[in-house]
Chains A and B, each alone.
Chain A
Amino acid sequence: QQPVQSPQAVILREGEDAVINCSSSKALYSVHWYRQKHGEAPVFLMILLKGGEQKGHEKISASFNEKKQQSSLYLTASQLSYSGTYFCGTEHELQGAQKLVFGQGTRLTINP
C-alpha cells in the first residue's frame, strides 16, 4: 500500500522552513526518507523505526508518530542544495522485511 505524501510541491526562499508529511493507512514498522535530485538516484537521508523517535541530520530532522501512522520531515533554514524531490518509503508490520514502498514524492524548490 503506497504511503501518501503532502504537499505535492513546495516553493521556498533560501532560509525558510518546510515540513513534508507522509501517512499510511496500515500499521508501519519503519519509515525511510530519501532525496532525489533531477536525473540522479535517490539518496538515503534517514530511517525511523516504530517508537515515535525523532532523528536529525544537519538541519533536516524527522519524526514518526506510530499511533497516527505518520511521519514528518522538517527542513529548517533551507539551503539551495536542499532542492529536489523527497520521497518517504514505508515498511509495514505484517509484510516481509524487504518491501519498501515509496510515496509519490514532494518536489521542493528553493529559490535564492
Chain B
Amino acid sequence: EPEVTQTPSHQVTQMGQEVILRCVPISNHLYFYWYRQILGQKVEFLVSFYNNEISEKSEIFDDQFSVERPDGSNFTLKIRSTKLEDSAMYFCASSEVGRYYGYTFGSGTRLTVV
C-alpha cells in the first residue's frame, strides 16, 4: 500500500535554529498538508498546498514557517527560528484530487526544541 514518508523521525534542535522537515507524498496525490500535534492534544492544521502554492493556512502558520516542493517528489516544512513551543509531532499528509478523498498521513517527525 502506498505510504507517505517523513524524515527524520525525530529531531532535536536548539531554540533559534532553523529546521527542515521532509516528506515524500504518495506519487499520484496532488494535495499536500502539514499538521502538528502537541503531545496528547488535538491534531492542528498548519497549511495545505496545491499546484505549487499554498491553498490555505492557519493562524499558527506565521512568517517563521514556509513550505516548498523543491522537486517532483519532496514536500518540505521549514521553521526559521524555532521556539520552545514549536516542540510537537509534525505530520505530513497527502490526498488525491477533489474533496472526496481522505488524507493519508505520514508517521510523523517528533521535533524537540531545547
Closest residue on chain B to residue A47 by CB atoms: B102
A36 CA to B48 CA, complexed, in Å: 21
Shortest beta-carbon distance from B85 to chain A in Å: 19
Residues of B within 8 A of A (CB-CB), count: 25
Q: What chain B residues lie within 8 Å of A42 (beta carbons)?
A: 43, 91, 103, 105
In the complex, per-residue mask of B74-86: 1 if CB is within 8 Å of any chain A CB, else 0: 0000000000000
Using CB atoms and an 8 Å cutoff, list the residues of chain B in contact with chain A.
Answer: 31, 33, 35, 41-45, 48, 50, 55-56, 58, 91, 98-108
A44 touching B45 in the complex, CB below 8 Å, given contacts A95-B56, A98-B50: no
A40 CA to B108 CA, complexed, in Å: 8
Whether B43 and A99, one on each chain, are in contact in the complex, defined by CB atoms closer than 8 angstroms, is no
Whether A98 and B102, one on each chain, are in contact in the complex, defined by CB atoms closer than 8 angstroms, is no
